[in-house]
Amino acid sequence: MSLKIQGGIVVAWSGSHHVLIPDGTVVIEKDRITYVGTDRSVAADQVIDASGKLVCPGFINLHVHSQLNTGDYLITDVTKKDYLGANYFVFGASAKEKRPSPPAEALALGAKYALLSALKNGASTILDPGGGVADPEAYAEIVGQVGGRVFYSPPYRSSDIFTDSEGRHYYEERPDGGRAGFQKAVDFIRRFHGHHNGRLQGILNPAQAETCEPALLEETVAAARDLQVGIHIHAGGNLREFLRILERHRKGVVEYLASTGILTPRTILGHLVFIEGHSRIDYPAGDTLKLMAESGASVGHCPHKYAKMAGVMESFDRYVEAGINVGLGTDTYPLDIVSEMRYASLFSRLVDRKYYGARPAEVFNAATVWGAKALGREDLGKIAQSAKADIAIVDLRTLRYGPARDPVTALVEYGGGADVDTVIVDGEIVIDQGRSTRIDEGELFARAEATANRAWDNWQGRDWAGRKTEEIIPPAFPTRKD
């Protein structure tokens, strides 16, 4: 089966950078791109008319937790005044005796919903650093159903985080030091790596820098080498993490990770916001950026998520100029990788007070070729002969854009995931006219809505203070009751 895309503006790869081909043609044979140029005469079984549209490489989202937004909704806990409690602690660190055990069906539903949502927003490839699905077979089946490219294995940790009866967070070490979870991850990769024509890829996910002891990270490095897969770890994600690592190891987070050997060109640090020298941390700046650049490790930058919590990387431009490979992720809903490019650009400019910073080309690279580099995949994130046939076609013909002199700048400044018309993965059209070709979206949404409302209705049963959802996040306006 061959497929031809013609008539659109193609963002093609020159060998060293992206170039635009007006009225371009892309030809796909099976799961690979076989032609990129201007010759419309190349024959194909199916033709997509991309007139008025931007034909982009499938975007790479380096941070998608495969779950519903039930907890994500509560991330800005307005009743908790200390900034130390921000981030996932709000919903992820329940009281120990109230730790939830959601039904397997609800967890599987959340995974399917998240993976499809990210795909619809233009991400043909996502890195899942940990969702809620306990059954490995169920997860692998969901990846097959949705149609996107996914890097995943179950996350693991040495310590769990809980909240006591007065709202204080504390860490509790697991008796086995996290080995059981680590073994599950290794077993998952050995069993499912390469399934679905290679769309399901293994990656080791030690959960967070502060919840993983050095010995567990050292074992992770050895396993990654043996399995020939990459590593993802949350690091530099919040102030509590910074203080805990400093207290326990007398090092900043990057120096601590470097001491375990985990920083390699196949390692991605999710977030890396709070490091020495950050304006929220009264600690002298060190050689963190230099150490990161020399290690070859990448950063998965999620600007929108941190803006929700009044936080920001300082800054995208500084990291890139230091020689660090930076990709983009969403982490929280709406899982819109297109808008994330704009956030990365705007927030970097604000931090540096530099109007000309974080240019469209750089953030576009972060969402494509730099993300592919982070995953160790030279055949992703680009439209080039022999590359994987992963493509996102964006409709520029909307009043919101207006006439576009430069389509990539227009996409970064004005675009959003809702403008993604078509997504192709492995040569298959999996999103067509904004809708999944594989999943009944209406039925999926109805089930997700019912599942989320059940969780919110019963949230006080898991909250450390027994609070209702409306107490944690008050509605924007009161509901009138006649």
Residue 50 confidence (pLDDT): 98
Residue 69 confidence (pLDDT): 84
Distance, CA of 450 to CA of 366 (rounded, Å) = 36
Residue 466 confidence (pLDDT): 87
Contact 351, 398 (CB under 8 A): no
Task: Compute, in degrees rounded to 10, the torsion defined by CA atoms 12, 15, 16, 19.
Answer: -20
CATH of domain 59-380: 3.20.20.140
Residue 239: CA atoms inside 13 Å, Cβ hemisphere, count?
Answer: 16
Instruction: Single out the residue of 390, 440, 362 nearest to residue 32, CA to CA.
Output: 390
The token duo for 25 is 């043609």
Measured N-to-C along each axis, helices 214-227 and 179-192 cross at an angle, to the nearest 10 degrees, of: 10
Q: Would you write out the chain's pLDDT as a tens digit for each of its 482 residues? A: 899 999 999 999 999 999 999 999 999 999 999 999 999 999 999 999 999 999 999 999 999 999 988 877 777 666 666 555 556 666 666 777 777 777 899 999 999 999 999 999 999 999 999 987 779 999 999 999 999 999 999 999 999 988 888 888 889 999 999 999 999 999 999 999 999 999 999 999 999 999 999 999 999 999 999 999 999 999 999 988 999 999 999 999 999 999 999 999 999 999 999 999 999 988 988 899 999 999 999 999 999 999 988 899 999 999 999 999 999 999 999 999 999 999 999 999 999 999 889 999 999 999 999 999 999 999 999 999 999 999 999 999 988 888 889 999 999 999 999 999 999 999 999 999 999 999 999 999 999 999 999 989 988 888 888 888 888 888 889 999 88
Distance, CA of 45 to CA of 379 (rounded, Å) = 24
The token duo for 106 is 């609800």
Residue 51 confidence (pLDDT): 97
pTM over 0.85: yes
- Gap between the terminal Cα atoms of the chain: 60
Residue 169 confidence (pLDDT): 82
Distance, CA of 333 to CA of 126 (rounded, Å) = 14
The token duo for 429 is 């059209």
Measured N-to-C along each axis, helices 179-192 and 136-146 cross at an angle, to the nearest 10 degrees, of: 40
Please identify which residue in the block is written with the tokens 């769309």: 199
Residue 84 confidence (pLDDT): 58
Specify which residues 423 forms β-bridges with.
392, 431
In DSSP notation, 1-62 reads: -EEEEEEEEEEEE-SSSEEEEEEEEEEEETTEEEEEES-TT---SEEEE-TTEEEEEPEEES
Please identify which residue in the block is written with the tokens 């046939």: 389
In the chain, how many H helices and how many E strands? 16, 19
Domain 1-58+383-433 has CATH 2.30.40.10: yes
Instruction: Single out the residue of 395, 338, 383 nearest to residue 52, CA to CA.
Output: 395
Instruction: List the chain domain ranges.
Output: 1-58+383-433, 59-380
Distance, CA of 284 to CA of 246 (rounded, Å) = 13
Task: Compute, in degrees rounded to 10, the torsion defined by CA atoms 112, 113, 119, 123.
Answer: -100
Distance, CA of 418 to CA of 399 (rounded, Å) = 14
Distance, CA of 96 to CA of 87 (rounded, Å) = 18
CA angle 350, 86, 63 (to 5 degrees): 70
Contact 473, 77 (CB under 8 A): yes
The token duo for 362 is 């750089």
Contact 273, 313 (CB under 8 A): yes
Residue 270 confidence (pLDDT): 98
